[in-house]
């Protein structure tokens, strides 16, 4: 994308020999004589003064980068191959949940519920045995490029630690031959993995799975679903 703006400040005025000097002036690239002449011209030419004012903040922003940055500009790593498949899967899952009438809240709202639970140091819903509303669940993100499993996870601070509720959907039609056994683990903020248990997903239909850990909510860095051999499938980072 390369834009050549036109308009009143377009420096193409053939009558003004200084019309294209503003850029070089701001970059400090004019010779001492040219700079003096341009500065004097600025006092009497509104168009050039406007060009200088227009470009000055941009030159200021350039101070945030270095020559090495410019040289390495195109050396950015490519996107993850799992990005698009994972996006499509999450969208399909969210669409399906909307159809089944379960409100999908954005992750910020979910984070707010979790934060509230932490701040209060209590269970957000004190009638303890009642099933939690599913609105605080967040979709887990696919780690593998394609997975027949999608899941929402809700983390709730408890007096004894953290309750983890999973709402799993197994896309059986797309992957008829794939394994249906999964295991759950949490990774704490120090990077230590804590296995929590395993379960089997029914080939069609949803599975709700509730587990828990003695780790306090604020010590949990991620919740992860893996295959029995330890290959990560889905993850929720906190």
| Residues within the interface to another protein (CB under 8 A) | 1-5, 11, 20-24, 26-31, 34, 51, 54-55, 57-59, 61-62, 64-67, 69-70, 73-74, 76-80, 82-84, 86-88, 90-92, 94-95, 106-108, 111, 115, 141, 189, 218, 237
Q: What gap in Å lies between CA 199 and CA 230, rounded to an integer?
A: 14
State how beta strands 232-237 and 181-188 pair.
unpaired
Alpha-helical (H) ranges within the chain are 21-27, 32-42, 46-62, 67-71, 83-99, 107-120
Length of the chain counted residue by residue: 238
Output the smallest distance, CB 154 to another protein, in A.
Answer: 17
Strand partners, 169: 150, 206
Output the smallest distance, CB 3 to another protein, in A.
Answer: 5
The upper half-sphere exposure of residue 208, i.e. CA atoms within 13 Å in the direction of its Cβ, equals 7
Please identify, using beta-carbon distances, which residue of 83 and 181 lies nearer to another protein.
Answer: 83
Query: Cα separations (Å) of 8 from 26, 50, 106?
Result: 19, 10, 44
Output the smallest distance, CB 139 to another protein, in A.
Answer: 8
Please identify, using beta-carbon distances, which residue of 117 and 141 lies nearer to another protein.
Answer: 141
Please identify, using beta-carbon distances, which residue of 139 and 156 lies nearer to another protein.
Answer: 139
Using alpha carbons, select from 120, 104, 111, 187 the residue that is nearest to residue 155. 111
Using alpha carbons, select from 117, 238, 231, 114 the residue that is nearest to residue 183. 231
Please identify, using beta-carbon distances, which residue of 95 and 194 lies nearer to another protein.
Answer: 95
Output the smallest distance, CB 212 to another protein, in A.
Answer: 21
Please identify, using beta-carbon distances, which residue of 116 and 181 lies nearer to another protein.
Answer: 116
Output the smallest distance, CB 200 to another protein, in A.
Answer: 27
Q: What gap in Å lies between CA 139 and CA 235, rounded to an integer?
A: 9
Output the smallest distance, CB 170 to another protein, in A.
Answer: 17
Please identify, using beta-carbon distances, which residue of 121 and 127 lies nearer to another protein.
Answer: 121
């Amino acid at each position: 994308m390369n834009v050549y703006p036109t308009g009143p400040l377009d420096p193409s005025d053939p009558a003004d020999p200084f019309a294209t000097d503003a850029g070089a002036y701001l970059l400090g690239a004019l010779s001492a004589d040219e700079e003096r002449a341009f500065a004097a011209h600025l006092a009497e030419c509104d168009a050039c003064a406007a060009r200088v004012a227009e470009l000055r903040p941009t030159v200021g922003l350039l101070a945030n980068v270095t020559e090495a940055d410019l040289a390495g500009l195109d050396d950015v790593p490519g996107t993850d191959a799992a990005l698009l498949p994972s996006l499509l899967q999450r969208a399909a899952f969210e669409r399906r949940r909307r159809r089944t009438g379960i409100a999908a809240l954005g992750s910020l709202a979910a984070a707010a519920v979790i934060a509230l639970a932490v701040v209060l140091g209590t269970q957000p819903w004190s009638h303890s045995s009642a099933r939690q509303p599913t609105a605080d669940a967040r979709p887990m993100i696919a780690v593998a490029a394609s997975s027949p499993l999608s899941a929402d996870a809700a983390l709730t601070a408890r007096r004894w630690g953290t309750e983890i509720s999973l709402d799993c959907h197994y896309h059986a039609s797309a992957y008829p031959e794939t394994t249906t056994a999964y295991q759950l683990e949490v990774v704490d903020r120090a990077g230590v993995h804590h296995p929590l248990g395993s379960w089997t997903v029914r080939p069609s239909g949803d599975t709700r799975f509730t587990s828990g850990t003695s780790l306090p909510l604020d010590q949990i860095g991620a919740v992860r679903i893996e295959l029995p051999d330890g290959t990560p499938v889905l993850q929720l980072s906190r």
